Amino acid sequence: MDVALLTNPAARAGAHTGAAMRTAERLRAAGMRVSVISGGSAEESSTLLRTALEVGVDAVVVAGGDGTVSLAIQELATTAVPLGIVPTGTGNDLATSLGIRDLDADGAADAVISGRTRTIDLARVTRADGSCVLYGTVLASGFDSKVNDRANRMTRPRGHTRYNIAILAEFVALRGTPFEVELDLDSGVAERIAGDLVMATVGNGRTYGGGIPICPDADLEDGLLDVTLVRPAGRLKLLRLLPRVYRGTHTSIEQVSTFRVRRVRLSSPGVTAYADGDPLGPLPLSVEVVPSALRVFSAQRVQ
């Protein structure tokens, strides 16, 4: 069995733990041939992975977070080549949804060695210029994406502190933003929502931001996407909402609406969408589910 092991040398968390090398050693000990791929940029990593797939590999393993996993998703979607994940990033939200967030290097390697796989859905984003990108976790637009925008503009402090400061700064300036949301519901009915929203999220998986269950009922294998919309309220009400978001109990609050859809179009001026930790581009964007698009190694047999 030939395995391509993709690592991200620029990853902030897990970059120096040696997890990738330990995974490679365990796979080799099981008789697999492992080629380690490590590009100096996302573009170079994608090119190297694409070349490895053209030459021919039986599996791809990613040691990194959601951003590095996303590079592999773009190349592996709708192919028969399965993906393994060594969750060494900051967020690891796809690993969370897959139930493998807590795997160490040995556990991740053992999942590949076992050969057990499952097939999951992905979400396809189509931008205004017609270009497309896939994601596995959650698309954020509104308050949460503005936090990412602000944090990316900041040069210091580093790490989670920068994001905490960005959250506080955006919360002080928090206000509703005009949105237009067009929903193709799972029932086959089309629905349009227009008005101010604090944020609009589209989940293939349940969590973003390192485990926040913003779409708590999302299922990676149901052929649907989960949309969570939050309408404006007083800052005190929204502040009280935050703990419930972290517990995944926010969907019963009157300011929150949820929908199960096959496709959704989001439009709002000046809002950038993020997914799998990376910016996708400004709204408007269309998002549709791609059922059974990706094979992944599973640590446990799915019943």
Q: Catalytic amino acids? A: 278
| Angstrom distance (rounded) from CA 183 to CA 99 | 29
Bridge partners, 197 (sequence order): 177
Tokens 């396809």 correspond to: 124
* 8 A C-beta contact, residue 268 and residue 141: yes
CA-CA distance, 300 to 193, in Å (whole number)? 40
- E strand map for the chain: 2-7, 33-38, 59-64, 83-87, 117-127, 132-135, 138-142, 177-185, 190-197, 199-203, 225-230, 256-267, 272-275, 278-282, 285-297
Torsion of CA 109, 64, 249, 186, to 10 degrees: -80
